[in-house]
Amino acid sequence: MSTADRYRKVFPVTWEQLHRDAKALSWRLLEKGPYKGIIAIARGGLVPAAVIARELDIHLVETICISSYQWQEQTSSHKVLKTVEGRGEGWLIIDDLADTGGTARLVREMLPEAHFATVYAKPAGRPLVDTFITEVSQDTWILFPWDSEVQYVVPLVNQPQQS
């Protein structure tokens, strides 16, 4: 399936929106704690984990590093670059998104006792997380702020006219 067939919609997320959504996730997680620390899934979980660590006053932050995306193409295999010890008891796992569930499934196998939270979830990944804030359709590409930049756009008056 091509990228164009898989993602028919784009959901752009600004830095401000991501911060608000991560803070909203913190409110939900507050009542489920306390936690020993946070395990951020790198790279997407790093920014939300920083916001949540601040809001929950957690100073111990670990990372699990897994590679599964090349731009909008999700690779068929997940490469674990770094993991953590134990079964996750008392830990909070944070990621930006549960998409197809591939990464979430792998992390769940590694840390079955941790509480898994994501800011966004799609239907295929949603059953694998304990807590999330916003669900989007499976055919939506979430454009995170670290994957985009503000660029100058030529005003309409200066654009070439089409006949």
Catalytic residues: 95-96, 99
For helices 15-30 and 46-55, angle between their N-to-C axes, nearest 10 degrees: 50
The annotation status of 71 as a binding-site residue, yes or no, is no
- Name the H helices within the chain: 3-6, 15-30, 46-55, 102-110
Which uninterrupted H or E stretch holds 151? Answer: none
**What is the spatial distance between Cα 16 and Cα 68, in angstroms, rounded to a whole number?**
26
The annotation status of 90 as a binding-site residue, yes or no, is no
The annotation status of 98 as a binding-site residue, yes or no, is yes
The annotation status of 99 as a binding-site residue, yes or no, is yes
The annotation status of 93 as a binding-site residue, yes or no, is no
Strands 9-12 and 37-42, bridge-based pairing: unpaired
The annotation status of 95 as a binding-site residue, yes or no, is yes
The annotation status of 63 as a binding-site residue, yes or no, is no
Give, in order, the Cα–Cα distances in Å from 66 to each of 2, 28, 48, 85.
Answer: 23, 26, 16, 15
The annotation status of 142 as a binding-site residue, yes or no, is yes
User: Residues annotated as binding site for 5-phospho-alpha-D-ribose 1-diphosphate?
Assistant: 43-44, 95-103
Binding residue positions: 43-44, 95-103, 141-142
Residue set of the binding site for xanthine: 99, 142
Which residues fall in the annotated binding site for guanine? 99, 142
Going by the annotation, the residues of the binding site for Mg(2+) are: 96
